[in-house]
Structure 1
Amino acid sequence: MNAANVEGKHILITGGGSGIGAASAKILCERGALVGIADLNIDNATQLAQALTAEGGKAYAIAVDVTESQQVTAMFTGAMAQNDKIDVVINNAGIDHFPAPLTEVEDAMFMKNIQVNLAGVWYCMKNALNHMTRHGGGHIINIASVAGLRSAPMISAYSASKHGVIGLTKSAAVEYARANIRINAVCPSFVDTPMVQGVLSKLDERGQKSLVAANPMKRLGKPEEIANAIAWLCSDESSFMTGQSVVLDGGMLA
Structure 2
Amino acid sequence: MNVAANVQNKHILITGGGSGIGAASAKVLCERGALVGVADLNLDNAKALVEELKQAGGKAYAVAVDVTDPEQVKAMFETAYSQHEKVDVVINNAGIDHFPAPLTEVDDAMFMKNIQVNLAGVWYCMKNALKHMTATGGGHIINIASVAGLRSAPMISAYSASKHGVIGLTKSAAVEYARANIRINAVCPSFVDTPMVQGVLSKLDERGQKGIVGANPMKRLGKPEEIANAIAWLCSDESSFMTGQSVVLDGGMLA
Q: How does 1:177-196 map to 2 (within 5 A)?
A: 177-196=178-197
- 1:78-124 CA-to-partner distances (Å, cap 9, x unmatched) read 00000010000000000000000000000000000000000000000
Counterpart AA for 1:183: I
Are residue 168 (structure 1) and residue 169 (structure 2) matched? yes
Are residue 146 (structure 1) and residue 142 (structure 2) matched? no
2:60 corresponds to which residue? Answer: 59
Counterpart AA for 1:3: V
- 1:201-238 CA-to-partner distances (Å, cap 9, x unmatched) read 00000000010000000000000000000000000000
Structure 2: distance between partners of 1:227 and 1:60: 19
Structure 2: distance between partners of 1:48 and 1:130: 29
RMSD after superposition: 0.5
Which runs of at least 4 in structure 1 moved beyond 3 Å after TM superposition?
none
Are residue 198 (structure 1) and residue 204 (structure 2) matched? no
- Structure 2 unaligned regions, length at least 5: none
Q: How does 1:19-168 map to 2 (within 5 A)?
A: 19-168=20-169
When normalised by structure 2's length, the TM-score is: 0.99
Counterpart AA for 1:161: S
Q: Aligned with 1:228: secondary structure? A: helix
- 1:144-177 CA-to-partner distances (Å, cap 9, x unmatched) read 0000000000000000000000000000000000
Structure 2: distance between partners of 1:118 and 1:69: 13
Q: Aligned with 1:242: secondary structure? A: coil
Structure 2: distance between partners of 1:113 and 1:169: 18
Q: How far did 1:127 drift?
A: 0.1
Counterpart AA for 2:95: G
Structure 2: distance between partners of 1:198 and 1:249: 19
2:2 corresponds to which residue? Answer: 2
Q: Give the number of aligned pairs.
A: 254
Structure 2: distance between partners of 1:211 and 1:18: 21
Q: How far did 1:3 drift?
A: 1.4
Counterpart AA for 2:223: K
- 1:64-91 CA-to-partner distances (Å, cap 9, x unmatched) read 0000000000000000000010000000
Aligned-residue identity in percent: 87
Counterpart AA for 2:61: Y
Q: Aligned with 2:38: secondary structure? A: strand
Structure 1: distance between partners of 2:246 and 2:88: 20
- Structure 1 unaligned regions, length at least 5: none
2:236 corresponds to which residue? Answer: 235
